[in-house]
Structure 1
Amino acid sequence: MRLQLLLLICLQTLYSHAQVNTYRFKSWNTTHGLNANTCLSILEHPQGYMLIGTINGINRFTGTAFHNESPGTATQPITEVRDMVYDSDSVLWLACPAYGLVSVTTPESADQPSAIGYYAPEERGAPLTNATRLIDDGLGYIWVGIEARGLFRFDKKKKSFEKWPVNHPFSKFAESIRCFYKDERGRIWIGIVNGLMIVDPRTGKTEYPKPVCKQVSYLNAPTFRKFCYYNKDTLAVATDRGAHLYIQSRHEYIPVFDVKDSARMKHNAYNDVIRFSDKELWFASSNRGLMMVNPRTHEWRYATDQDSTGEGVPAVGVYRLLQDRHGNIWAAHQKGISFFSSRNHSFQNRPFRAYLSIPQVMEPITTGEKGDLYFSTSNDIFKQQRGDIAHPLDINKKYPAARFVKYYPGKGIFIQNPNGFYLYDEKRQTVSMLPLDTSSIVNNDRPLLVSPIHDMIADTFDNEEVAWITGLVSGSLFRYHWRTGKLISYDCTIKSDTLRKNYYAVFTCMEKDPNGGLWLGSQQYGVFYIPDLHKDHGISFSKLSGNKNFIRGDLVSDMYLDKQQHLWASIKDIGLININWQKPSPISYELYGKEYGLTNLALKRIQPGNANHLWISSAAGLFCFDPDKKWFRHFGQSHGIRNEVFNMACTRDASGNLYFAADDNLLYFDPAVVLQTKDSARLLIRQLTTSDRSIRYQSQEEWRLRPGENSFTIDVDLVDFENPRGQTLLYKLDGYDRDWQQLRDNYQLRYTNIPGGDYRLLIRMAGDQQKNSDELFVAIHIARYFYQQTWFIIAVSALALLAILMAARSYTRSRLKKQQQQFEQKRALEAERLRISSELHDDLGGGLSTIRLMTEMLRLPGMEDKQTHYLGHISEKSQELVHSMNEIVWSLNHHNDNFAGLIAYIRQFSTKYLEEAGINLNFSAPAALPDHEVKGHVRRNIFLLVKEALHNVVKHAGASEVKIEVHTGDSILIRITDNGKGFDRVKGVAGGNGLRTMQERADAVGGSLRISDVEGTCVELEIPEWV
């Protein structure tokens, strides 16, 4: 008994020193892209990312990558950045020993370099550049500490320095400035070697308090290296002689350690201090990393590396500490930077090495009636009360090698080992063996109970209390009767339709739906459904490939029926599925995998959290699934989880706390507390880059692109120090993209050949960690070329329409003209036909009638003496008819439709006609007549007019000579002159039809007719145009 008590005391003592390190840090160095391991300063940018000042310059860190943003040039590099501050104008000020005070102004265009200003006070003509500390007073001045040269105030407008007088009565090294601190009253506290001074920038008043320490006797005051607020009257102070609290009202500083119990700590040097809480201060040690101190109890500890996981801060000199806007803590030290998430204290870890005798936890874990935790190992059963260590139960010797433990309300803790089933009574702390009848089970080569139970649920079967069990040696389904102990096997056989061999399902988990159906998760074949359990024999799943009560998949790790009657199952390599159990035939389900934020498909156990959330363990951390938003949220080492590789052990206590086990660690937490802490991830739009320029993003601005700049990339920064590779971004170019696009890991958007116009780029983080108010957007205007402008398109369209209308009008007019010409031709043809028929009727008809009458007269008696006379007339008439026929045929022949043919025909006719009449003809015409077309009716009218004129000469003029002249040029002129009696002496012409007929024919061809009778008759026909 004494030995057991001694062992318990040893366990408790070891546990108190080996308990989990809740200060889990994540560290980065040059292997991750940092430009130097020695980090001297750190600053949070207004946009959320971190600026790290190293001995080689400045790094911009977003959590996903380091970017070297050291200002300066190759000949003037900015190195050894001791201090940094942003002023109200977003100008970055640096303290660099090589150059003094340096200002960095970021231009709007990414193509332009940052504007850098170098400023240093002068002493006796020599610049004082060894700047080590600086602060912005908010009044237009930068206060700078120059090593061993004192305090200077820099006017940002005038770009000039003013040395501030330092007449410290208690320090011989007052010009060696070590730190600045601005309190709530706007005063600047200045730490110097062996002293302290306080400056009010508004009044210019300087105080030199003499701090005292009653607990420890110092020859000189310590060097104040950093101040931070602790409470209204107290500052926490890091000095070269230990960690202190400074009481402002008494100007007294006291050690935060109990000097008696930790005398060796009082002279340790510290560089920085921050207030983690009212019960905890963090001090940056000069050589031992970070130290956490409770100023109330004087308890302390170091957050240095404790094992191979490197979960603490390296035990080296820490130069600066920073608490960002989310409460996360940063440490800049000699081996890089370290980061502590404010969420870390939400997760509690208990390494099993603290229990000494527990090499590995088995499954499952269960909670008892009082909330105590029970779990089994390969040898024993342990009980852990809340806030205590785990103790082995007294029953382990009598009932060793427990395989399964589970709490059942009203019964106790159910225990399975190779020998049988047992119940542990928590109140009496006694064990009773349960009845077990395995006679109905076919014997196996191995004992039935050598393998653990996989899952067990309570139920009623035919009004009798039973428990459904999966696992044991065959891995099948069993029904256990509590009262009789009868164990009935449901050997579920899988009959394949493609393979000749039958398979037996090894079931890992199960759930029963409200309709009485049993859902089973198998080890190799996915999810099965049994609608009716009233069978005493095996259940056969036939035709595996087409089974309606089957969901394909590999290992089904767990199943859970939530309060909303949603049935969930986690399936390896597939994801989380929501089964529609209301309509099980055929089975339908919804799958939630990688596209819903699930970064690891090796899912294991499911536990309900608050607000309907599901917590799922995996081989790479925890996932929290929100069924309403349908998105996974990941938690891993950066959130304080010591071991991300979980096994199958988990449980939930009556208070809602969740427990998940890894092989060497037990994680427990309150899910409501974890989800209350908002993710620190922040989305930033950096710049837009085209083929020839880059444009930085300014909040709520519009990017205006030139014509042709329609292919571009947009760089996006995701500032996430907790889960830098586990975020998915959603983006959409409104006006171009129809749906949201996903972006992961490489946060760069690319667009090509975007039409000119106005767009809005929308971008946000996927999942529930971002609300719609956090959605970023930027307007993008892509200018068009002039030929792409609306006015140009309208003008061109109008011109095109006008051209089409004009072309249509021209075509219509042309067609109408053509139709009119065809109509005119048709009408002319009809007129010609009428004319021909008229002439045939008048000339031929009249002539033939005359010949017929003369012939009839020759037949009369007594006409023999006049026969010669009438025959002469008949011959003459016949000759006239022949001439008329020739003229008609000539006018109808289209081969004669030319001017030269017309003149030749007139010449031929007039020569023969006048020769028969005994009149001399003088015909004059150009040698080369134009070959113009002359229509038939025009030819005929001209010819008949000339013929009529010659007929008048032969019949009435009594002329001996006729002269015909043809002139061409702009008009046609045909002149006929004779030497006869003249116009007035012609009987029957002036008042007859001859002149009228000639005039009508001249009008018909559009010409003019002139007749004169000076020394004979002159007839002129002039046609002004070629007709």
Structure 2
Amino acid sequence: MNIRSLSLVFFLFTLSAAGGFAQNLFPQKMDACTPSKYCMDCGTPKATCDSFTLSTINDKINRRFNFNGGSGSITFQVLVNANRFSCVLSHTDVTKSQLSAELVIALNTCLWKPAIVDGKPVDASVNVVFTIANGKISGKMQRMDLAELKAPDNPIVYNKQYQYTNPSIKTYDFTSWNRYNSPLPDNIGQACLVDDTNVLWYATSQGLTRFDGSIFLPVNEFNSPFTATTSVKDMVQDKEKNIWMYANHAVYMCNKEGWKVFDSVHLGIPKPYRIVAAKTGELFFPSSKGLLIVRNGKVRLVDSKLIWQLPSDNVLYAYYDTRGRLWMGTDRGSIMMDKKQKVIEFNKSNSPLNNTCITNVIEDDKGNMYFTMTACKKPTGDNDEEGIAIMTADGKWLHYNDKNSGLPANQVNNILYDKFENALWIGTQKAGLVRFDLKDGWEDYTHNNSAIPGPNVVQIAQDSKGVIYGATTNGMFRLVKK
């Protein structure tokens, strides 16, 4: 049987008390077993089937199906009772394919070891994920972190004077995914990137995946230099459509020809904080030693020896704007150097960048620039020096924080200019996703009023059709304009 594509549909589920007895996890429920109660992935040791058993299932299914050109994954929730008998409770394939049916039979008839609690075997459910890649299927146990099943912490909104009516929220369809209702490797998102083909690359603390809008495509040892649990710290796509990543203390580049790996010796980049793709084709690697600029395989260092006005060699961010100006943020302040190499030291200015480090810069079509920043001398709690700074096309400065605007909190992780809506999307540390219409309309989207999985929005990306994706520490979300 030929499998070309496995289309999986997912939705959020709710759970009873974390760590206790729970309902079926996944959308496709099975009627073969109806237990009264069971714990989820509990016990020491936990319920399991050994690797030999899973290998036997893999071999049998690979002989039955042709997976060439296929991709995707299916996750099964299996009940293993105290007597070692198993029964699939639910799974993620709502298409009810023949493949899923045969995997259900295999999981129901193989040998299992029950979970042990207080020295006695108990009924417990466990998850098994089968992934299709490179012409074959492979299965493995997927352990659950019960702490991740708890509801996320409430948003921390420091802004007490602004009333959020969120008029635009009804104009978006919200969808979210986590590692228990989808093949997402982990709930803790670290970076996201939409490439030129509108495929989302999504990095978590326990693995990298791609998402084409309907199917998750795992990035692992079968199709990359990474393992299934590699932690990718940052990634960008350059002017030539190469994708660059930082992981395992090395820099990786991926294009249509394959992967290249550059360790710190060959590229001379010691543990960069970020990767920034300049519009000129250069790559910026901010680091504790200065700013490393890579072009055509050659590396040059920009530090305080080269620019004496640079407040510190500990460069956290850099950006090259459309007017040919270089912006650099360090742990002791920020500078800008224009095309004539004239340097502006913002610690000596009256701008919002005084005594702050630039952490992100974006531009709109009219020449306005938007900055996120962190205070150099950051006290405990909320700091009004942070927030969002705007330099208008005519050189005027604006500064928005949670005291003078509708910004819910001053700590900002990421910012995106939405050219389709002429609005800013702002990912905050603990106050959710903010939409700002660039006039006076501030909206705050959290898990309390939408399907966004948590209040800590790490990074935001947008595809060529206007679809917005976001990485949070509780899962991934997507916003589609209705």
1:469 paired residue among 281, 284, 291: 284
Task: Specify the code of the residue in structure 1 equivalent to 2:456.
Answer: F
2:471 paired residue among 661, 676, 681: 661
Give me the whole-angstrom Cα distance separating, in 1, the residues matched to 2:178 and 2:316. Answer: 27
Shift of the 402–533 alpha-carbon distance from structure 1 to 2, 3 Å rule, reads farther
Shift of the 452–664 alpha-carbon distance from structure 1 to 2, 3 Å rule, reads farther
Shift of the 503–564 alpha-carbon distance from structure 1 to 2, 3 Å rule, reads closer
Give me the whole-angstrom Cα distance separating, in 1, the residues matched to 2:184 and 2:237. Answer: 24
Task: Specify the code of the residue in structure 2 equivalent to 1:431.
Answer: W
Give the Å deviation of 1:565: 1.0
2:414 paired residue among 605, 608, 614: 605
Pairs within 5 Å for 1:839-858:
none
The reply on whether 1:309 has 2:309 as its aligned counterpart is no
Check whether the contact 1:569–1:576 (CA below 8 A) recurs between aligned residues. yes
The reply on whether 1:413 has 2:243 as its aligned counterpart is yes
The reply on whether 1:346 has 2:173 as its aligned counterpart is yes
Shift of the 424–533 alpha-carbon distance from structure 1 to 2, 3 Å rule, reads farther
Corresponding residue number in structure 1 for 2:219? 392
Pairs within 5 Å for 1:905-944:
none
Aligned residue for 1:617, secondary structure, equals strand
Corresponding residue number in structure 1 for 2:338? 531
Count how many residue pairs are aligned between Structure 1 and Structure 2. Answer: 323
Higher helix fraction (1 or 2)? 1
Check whether the contact 2:286–2:315 (CA below 8 A) recurs between aligned residues. yes
Give me the whole-angstrom Cα distance separating, in 2, the residues matched to 1:310 and 1:545. Answer: 38
The reply on whether 1:20 has 2:1 as its aligned counterpart is no
Shift of the 380–414 alpha-carbon distance from structure 1 to 2, 3 Å rule, reads same
Give me the whole-angstrom Cα distance separating, in 1, the residues matched to 2:207 and 2:184. Answer: 9
Task: Specify the code of the residue in structure 1 equivalent to 2:282.
Answer: A
The reply on whether 1:625 has 2:439 as its aligned counterpart is no
The reply on whether 1:517 has 2:325 as its aligned counterpart is yes
Task: Specify the code of the residue in structure 2 equivalent to 1:413.
Answer: I
Give the Å deviation of 1:425: 2.5
Shift of the 397–551 alpha-carbon distance from structure 1 to 2, 3 Å rule, reads closer
Corresponding residue number in structure 1 for 2:298? 486
The reply on whether 1:577 has 2:389 as its aligned counterpart is yes
Give the Å deviation of 1:659: 1.2
Give the Å deviation of 1:648: 3.0
Shift of the 652–261 alpha-carbon distance from structure 1 to 2, 3 Å rule, reads same
1:646 paired residue among 427, 436, 456: 456
Shift of the 383–606 alpha-carbon distance from structure 1 to 2, 3 Å rule, reads same
Give the Å deviation of 1:391: 1.4
Aligned residue for 2:421, secondary structure, equals coil
Corresponding residue number in structure 1 for 2:195? 368
Give me the whole-angstrom Cα distance separating, in 1, the residues matched to 2:434 and 2:424. Answer: 8
Give me the whole-angstrom Cα distance separating, in 1, the residues matched to 2:465 and 2:357. Answer: 31
Shift of the 549–639 alpha-carbon distance from structure 1 to 2, 3 Å rule, reads closer
Check whether the contact 2:312–2:332 (CA below 8 A) recurs between aligned residues. no
1:382 paired residue among 193, 206, 209: 209
- The gaps in structure 1 that reach 5 residues or longer are 25-259, 265-296, 298-305, 312-325, 327-340, 442-447, 461-465, 497-501, 674-1027
Give the Å deviation of 1:468: 3.8
The reply on whether 1:432 has 2:243 as its aligned counterpart is no
Task: Specify the code of the residue in structure 2 equivalent to 1:579.
Answer: M
Q: Deviations over 1:891-937 (max 9, x none)?
A: xxxxxxxxxxxxxxxxxxxxxxxxxxxxxxxxxxxxxxxxxxxxxxx
Give me the whole-angstrom Cα distance separating, in 2, the residues matched to 1:550 and 1:478. Answer: 26
Q: Deviations over 1:217-251 (max 9, x none)?
A: xxxxxxxxxxxxxxxxxxxxxxxxxxxxxxxxxxx
The reply on whether 1:423 has 2:253 as its aligned counterpart is yes
Give me the whole-angstrom Cα distance separating, in 1, the residues matched to 2:226 and 2:329. Answer: 34
Give me the whole-angstrom Cα distance separating, in 2, the residues matched to 1:363 and 1:641. Answer: 19
Shift of the 524–653 alpha-carbon distance from structure 1 to 2, 3 Å rule, reads farther
Task: Specify the code of the residue in structure 1 equivalent to 2:176.
Answer: N
Check whether the contact 1:510–1:520 (CA below 8 A) recurs between aligned residues. yes
Aligned residue for 2:464, secondary structure, equals coil
Aligned residue for 2:359, secondary structure, equals strand
Corresponding residue number in structure 1 for 2:365? 563
Q: Deviations over 1:822-855 (max 9, x none)?
A: xxxxxxxxxxxxxxxxxxxxxxxxxxxxxxxxxx
Corresponding residue number in structure 2 for 1:457? 277
Give the Å deviation of 1:345: 7.5
Give me the whole-angstrom Cα distance separating, in 2, the residues matched to 1:381 and 1:454. Answer: 17
Corresponding residue number in structure 1 for 2:20? none
Check whether the contact 2:176–2:476 (CA below 8 A) recurs between aligned residues. yes
Check whether the contact 2:337–2:344 (CA below 8 A) recurs between aligned residues. no
The reply on whether 1:404 has 2:234 as its aligned counterpart is yes
Aligned residue for 2:448, secondary structure, equals helix
Give the Å deviation of 1:310: 9.2
Task: Specify the code of the residue in structure 2 equivalent to 1:530.
Answer: M
Check whether the contact 2:207–2:231 (CA below 8 A) recurs between aligned residues. yes
Aligned residue for 1:346, secondary structure, equals strand
Shift of the 661–261 alpha-carbon distance from structure 1 to 2, 3 Å rule, reads same
Give the Å deviation of 1:540: 8.2
Give me the whole-angstrom Cα distance separating, in 2, the residues matched to 1:467 and 1:669. Answer: 31
Give the Å deviation of 1:355: 5.5
Aligned residue for 1:454, secondary structure, equals coil
Shift of the 641–436 alpha-carbon distance from structure 1 to 2, 3 Å rule, reads same
Give the Å deviation of 1:373: 1.2
Check whether the contact 1:381–1:396 (CA below 8 A) recurs between aligned residues. no
Q: Deviations over 1:801-823 (max 9, x none)?
A: xxxxxxxxxxxxxxxxxxxxxxx
Give the Å deviation of 1:545: 4.5
Give me the whole-angstrom Cα distance separating, in 1, the residues matched to 2:259 and 2:284. Answer: 21
1:637 paired residue among 423, 444, 447: 447
Task: Specify the code of the residue in structure 1 equivalent to 2:299.
Answer: L
Pairs within 5 Å for 1:249-288:
none
Give the Å deviation of 1:522: 3.9
Q: Deviations over 1:749-777 (max 9, x none)?
A: xxxxxxxxxxxxxxxxxxxxxxxxxxxxx
Aligned residue for 2:198, secondary structure, equals coil
Shift of the 645–521 alpha-carbon distance from structure 1 to 2, 3 Å rule, reads farther
Check whether the contact 1:369–1:409 (CA below 8 A) recurs between aligned residues. no
Shift of the 396–472 alpha-carbon distance from structure 1 to 2, 3 Å rule, reads farther
Aligned residue for 1:660, secondary structure, equals strand
Check whether the contact 1:364–1:404 (CA below 8 A) recurs between aligned residues. yes
Shift of the 520–636 alpha-carbon distance from structure 1 to 2, 3 Å rule, reads same
Corresponding residue number in structure 1 for 2:58? none
The structure number with the bigger radius of gyration is 1
Give the Å deviation of 1:623: 1.1
Give the Å deviation of 1:617: 0.9
Aligned residue for 2:404, secondary structure, equals helix
Check whether the contact 1:438–1:488 (CA below 8 A) recurs between aligned residues. no
Give me the whole-angstrom Cα distance separating, in 2, the residues matched to 1:391 and 1:20. Answer: 20
Identity %: 14
Give me the whole-angstrom Cα distance separating, in 1, the residues matched to 2:423 and 2:351. Answer: 28
Pairs within 5 Å for 1:712-751:
none
Task: Specify the code of the residue in structure 2 equivalent to 1:668.
Answer: R
Shift of the 589–612 alpha-carbon distance from structure 1 to 2, 3 Å rule, reads same
- The gaps in structure 2 that reach 5 residues or longer are 16-29, 35-94, 96-147, 154-164, 375-382
Give me the whole-angstrom Cα distance separating, in 2, the residues matched to 1:454 and 1:413. Answer: 14
Pairs within 5 Å for 1:121-270:
none
**TM-score, length-scaled by structure 2:** 0.55
Give me the whole-angstrom Cα distance separating, in 2, the residues matched to 1:421 and 1:518. Answer: 23
Check whether the contact 1:480–1:486 (CA below 8 A) recurs between aligned residues. yes
Give me the whole-angstrom Cα distance separating, in 2, the residues matched to 1:388 and 1:362. Answer: 18
Give me the whole-angstrom Cα distance separating, in 2, the residues matched to 1:612 and 1:511. Answer: 22
Check whether the contact 1:425–1:431 (CA below 8 A) recurs between aligned residues. yes
Shift of the 454–397 alpha-carbon distance from structure 1 to 2, 3 Å rule, reads closer
Shift of the 435–346 alpha-carbon distance from structure 1 to 2, 3 Å rule, reads same
